[in-house]
Structure 1
């Protein structure tokens, strides 16, 4: 009963660990997180095509629900760059960005994404994230970074670019509109950007993005006083109140339009959240429950859609800062949201003096930080297949619909996984009679050239046998039987975790073929759960119980009696003890 209650209300598990020491640490980490997310929330909402306050609303609601119902102690959820740009790309095809219709569709998209995530959690699909290569996320975020930077060029140059233009058309418009270039807007953006970089470099614990925005705003305020004539657009005043109630559009037409796009956002959000929580957990030695994380992310988006919040997920930056700031429990995420509410109520009117071009400078820095250069270099250096996935996902993000780029990347990573598992390693083994230690264990002949029995081939299959790999395994058996004229094949099965029905049928067929040639398939070292499943499926009965062995010595002794003694008498290998007798 207690375990059931904790699975429904996971926060009960960490509530009992709270004390004065953890509360103090969580308050400090929470305040740090609130200061960090203030400029990020405004920037991310701008990327998503929403009014700036919606990014702050998301940073107030989403982390509280995700902290209560997730599994990570340090994950901070809220608005993220990748999801923001997918939101903009998805909804801007249907309605005008920033309009009431745009906001309504964003809330509906958030609700649908949350429903998908919650359903995945209940269905215990958490392990599916393991099959999505991290390279997909690196390629997607790198492409998204270029798109984000491109979208801000109109704000920092003053060149008019029609809304809804594709990546290539934006650059064409920039080239054609160079005569309208405003150098002062670029200067404000660069001052904002470089001041944020310098403060991060020399004062790493300072709220560098917030400081950069302040310095950029001060420069924009004083430029006209020095006689500089420029048209500086301002963000405008953010309403100084807490997230208002909202209602997604549940009409059939809207849901049918957004259902497929919501799936892409749900998938991206889950991959982000679980990847980040696991990365932080490796430092904190915490075990993450992906299914519970799915539930937490789903509930945060469902709940948030009724409180003026758009789709959120885990933030690597804020989660890392939360851990480094000494957070002990998920209470730090709740404190961060509460502190942000207080800060917004106090300083919201000051955003009326924030230049859009300064915001553009901050967003350029955010976009730059999205590009994981270290991992990209490593991928290109060590893996051709992962490099192909990275390039494909990156280019698809730039030139195709963003949700399709996500699907394509995930599909490629699954294809890569299947390709790897469909060709398991099948080394040939033999016995080293010259072993100084006196043991007679099987040795891979690729590591040491050893004599082999001309009638019995010993192989080891290092991966599970299923519909994807059985063709490769069958070819190996046929090559031994037809090419080397060896019809007794012993399979060392210690590396096999399961055999599916297709694998069973094929192995039975190969065994019967070898049996007609006075040979057969033999298995040694099968794991108990695998053997039990094979027995229930009547595989053991069809092969023959006498062809399954617990130890290698018994297997060799039994199979030796079935070999052709005439060949044995003329054999020079004599690798088995039985050969000498």
Structure 2
């Protein structure tokens, strides 16, 4: 076993030097400055006291720095997971209560355990059933839900909180006239400042700037803004070790939410990690190792009072842009959070909640991916409607049902595409040995007595009838003149028992009608399956060719010398 693969920090730590530290130091401080106000804000989304957002930025970051295969991904509290936590836990306990906090921490342990198990057994591929259009639709919808739910803090109105947007929009419409003027002004100015600084330079700690301004306003002019809600007391000190309270009934109820967090968290981490990986050539993301790292981050984090965490789009990008080269940057951010927890939490007493709402709203609305929607509309209409369906389902039915709809639709589209793959009749390109699709190359030569049929997918139970029906339809158009069928099997990478039986039955069918059946370009494993199924009892080994043109040439000229040599080769390969 390669210990460096299991503990990736050993890949870079032994060769660590001062030149790497300079970039990591700047990046770690920059991300830490952003992380502290974000952590407080995202804890509020999750329905937890602000201190738990900072707890979430401690142990999970350390564990990921040790076990994560990406050196620049920033782990910690994020808006999307925070809202999913609030959605699931709020049905079991009152937000902010001791019971609520206990359940949220238990949820982190469950999420971590599932992620760890998936990683250990190399089951990361399961999450691939969420296609990119589904992820885009889901992410955009959740961003919109999070943003609208923060209007209660931005405007100072006690709007209903829900992951079903119609109820939130209805309540905002009915109560919009009750907005708190001072709260709204501070919140909107914060939004403008954040957007302005983001446009100037993303490295500017805009979140920290509005937090400092908000605190100073409320501390020195608080008498004029006594109707503005502030964070107030945030406890000092580091989280103590403790095993989460176990309740079998709660675990059963939390399981669907835990699975949702597993999939969303892993997809976020992989998508961010892959995008950062493309910008360097020092390391490669290992999906199953990422699951193990996330699992350990959440499991060990839950022992130190962290709720479910994953990677942050914004902080990861800033981490990379600020010069982070290794996981040391994350450890530096942890040091900043530790210092804040030990000495600086009293400074956040006067922090207006509307400023935190502004930070969240700007951050999440950037996740609404209109550009991807426009691209899918041009490139693939089916993927576009898959994205829209997931988007609407998440908005109207809630986050949990949204991801269920997304996975379900992804599977339906997968089944549809594999059951009805692309098929084509090929013709010979003049003065060459190539055969091409007659519908794309008008100049190809088609012969009445020869049908060259191409099937662009694995051949299995879901599309065997589709193969047969299209083959028969093309053959019937040739009529009685048809004497040879050549199956171009280069694109068939797998065939199951249903496909094998269908092929044998069709070969027999056409043999009775004096039509010869040849195979061209069959891959070795597929050819082995054909031989094992008994196809050589119907046709002999000379019916298998490397290329379509060789099959047609053999049919026309009987060039046995070359074909017998190839037949001998594949016969030996099978043995």
Settle same-fold status: TM greater than 0.5. yes
Q: CA separation in 2, counterparts of 1:107 and 1:148? A: 21
1:443 has 2:448 as partner: no
- The alpha-carbon distance between structure 1 residues 14 and 539, as it changes in their structure 2 partners (threshold 3 A), is farther
Local SS of the residue matching 1:284: coil
1:530 has 2:526 as partner: yes
Pairwise CA RMSD: 2.4
1:162 positional shift: 5.2
Q: Is the 8 A contact 2:426 2:454 kept in 1?
A: yes
Local SS of the residue matching 1:326: coil
Q: How does 1:154-233 map to 2 (within 5 A)?
A: 154-161=152-159, 167-178=165-176, 180-225=178-223, 228=224, 230-233=226-229
What's the TM-score once normalised by structure 2's chain length? 0.90
Local SS of the residue matching 2:452: strand
- The alpha-carbon distance between structure 1 residues 396 and 551, as it changes in their structure 2 partners (threshold 3 A), is closer
Aligned counterpart, 1:88: 86
1:236 has 2:229 as partner: no
Aligned counterpart, 1:419: 416
- The alpha-carbon distance between structure 1 residues 233 and 529, as it changes in their structure 2 partners (threshold 3 A), is same
Aligned counterpart, 2:345: 348
1:453 has 2:447 as partner: yes
Aligned counterpart, 1:118: 116
Unpaired runs of 5+ residues, structure 1, are 563-581
- The alpha-carbon distance between structure 1 residues 203 and 11, as it changes in their structure 2 partners (threshold 3 A), is closer
Match 2:506 to one of 510, 531, 543: 510
1:269 has 2:262 as partner: no
Q: CA separation in 1, counterparts of 2:328 and 2:196? A: 32
What's the TM-score once normalised by structure 1's chain length? 0.89
Local SS of the residue matching 1:288: coil
Q: Is the 8 A contact 1:487 1:514 kept in 2?
A: no
Match 2:373 to one of 369, 373, 376: 376
Q: CA separation in 2, counterparts of 1:33 and 1:327? A: 10
Partner deviation per Cα, 1:288-322 (whole Å, 9 max, x = no partner): 21111111111111111111111111211111112
Local SS of the residue matching 1:491: strand
- The alpha-carbon distance between structure 1 residues 531 and 209, as it changes in their structure 2 partners (threshold 3 A), is same
- The alpha-carbon distance between structure 1 residues 552 and 17, as it changes in their structure 2 partners (threshold 3 A), is farther
1:519 positional shift: 2.2
Q: Is the 8 A contact 1:107 1:247 kept in 2?
A: no
Local SS of the residue matching 1:476: helix
Q: CA separation in 2, counterparts of 1:432 and 1:527? A: 24
Q: CA separation in 2, counterparts of 1:533 and 1:510? A: 16
1:86 positional shift: 0.7
**525-534 or 398-407, which moves further after superposition?**
525-534
- The alpha-carbon distance between structure 1 residues 394 and 427, as it changes in their structure 2 partners (threshold 3 A), is same
Local SS of the residue matching 1:484: helix
Q: How does 1:549-560 map to 2 (within 5 A)?
A: 549-560=545-556
Q: Is the 8 A contact 2:182 2:227 kept in 1?
A: no
Q: Is the 8 A contact 2:160 2:167 kept in 1?
A: no
Q: How does 1:13-24 map to 2 (within 5 A)?
A: 13-24=11-22
Local SS of the residue matching 2:427: strand
1:408 positional shift: 0.9
Q: CA separation in 1, counterparts of 2:131 and 2:184? A: 38
Local SS of the residue matching 2:69: coil
- The alpha-carbon distance between structure 1 residues 540 and 105, as it changes in their structure 2 partners (threshold 3 A), is farther
Q: CA separation in 2, counterparts of 1:73 and 1:466? A: 42
Q: Is the 8 A contact 2:163 2:399 kept in 1?
A: no
- The alpha-carbon distance between structure 1 residues 422 and 164, as it changes in their structure 2 partners (threshold 3 A), is closer
Aligned counterpart, 2:100: 102
1:396 has 2:360 as partner: no
Local SS of the residue matching 1:460: strand
Partner deviation per Cα, 1:345-397 (whole Å, 9 max, x = no partner): 33211111101122122222122222123223222343321221222222222
Q: Is the 8 A contact 2:163 2:395 kept in 1?
A: no
1:535 positional shift: 3.9
Match 1:497 to one of 490, 493, 497: 493
Q: CA separation in 2, counterparts of 1:513 and 1:90? A: 58
Q: CA separation in 2, counterparts of 1:230 and 1:336? A: 34
Q: Is the 8 A contact 2:164 2:398 kept in 1?
A: no
Aligned counterpart, 2:48: 50
Match 1:321 to one of 318, 321, 324: 318
1:478 has 2:476 as partner: no
Q: Is the 8 A contact 2:203 2:318 kept in 1?
A: no
Q: Is the 8 A contact 1:264 1:406 kept in 2?
A: yes
- The alpha-carbon distance between structure 1 residues 322 and 383, as it changes in their structure 2 partners (threshold 3 A), is same
1:332 positional shift: 2.2
Q: CA separation in 2, counterparts of 1:544 and 1:261? A: 57
1:50 positional shift: 1.0
1:328 positional shift: 1.8
**163-172 or 410-419, which moves further after superposition?**
163-172
1:509 positional shift: 1.8
- The alpha-carbon distance between structure 1 residues 94 and 384, as it changes in their structure 2 partners (threshold 3 A), is same
Aligned counterpart, 2:143: 145
Local SS of the residue matching 1:59: coil
- The alpha-carbon distance between structure 1 residues 430 and 162, as it changes in their structure 2 partners (threshold 3 A), is closer
Q: CA separation in 1, counterparts of 2:122 and 2:460? A: 22
**119-128 or 292-301, which moves further after superposition?**
119-128
Aligned counterpart, 2:458: 464
Partner deviation per Cα, 1:108-162 (whole Å, 9 max, x = no partner): 1111111211121122122334442222222122222222222222223333335
**47-56 or 18-27, which moves further after superposition?**
18-27
Local SS of the residue matching 1:458: strand
Equivalent pairs, count: 555
- The alpha-carbon distance between structure 1 residues 423 and 176, as it changes in their structure 2 partners (threshold 3 A), is closer
Q: Is the 8 A contact 2:156 2:229 kept in 1?
A: no
Q: Is the 8 A contact 1:185 1:357 kept in 2?
A: yes
- The alpha-carbon distance between structure 1 residues 523 and 13, as it changes in their structure 2 partners (threshold 3 A), is farther
Q: CA separation in 1, counterparts of 2:408 and 2:315? A: 29
- The alpha-carbon distance between structure 1 residues 465 and 192, as it changes in their structure 2 partners (threshold 3 A), is same
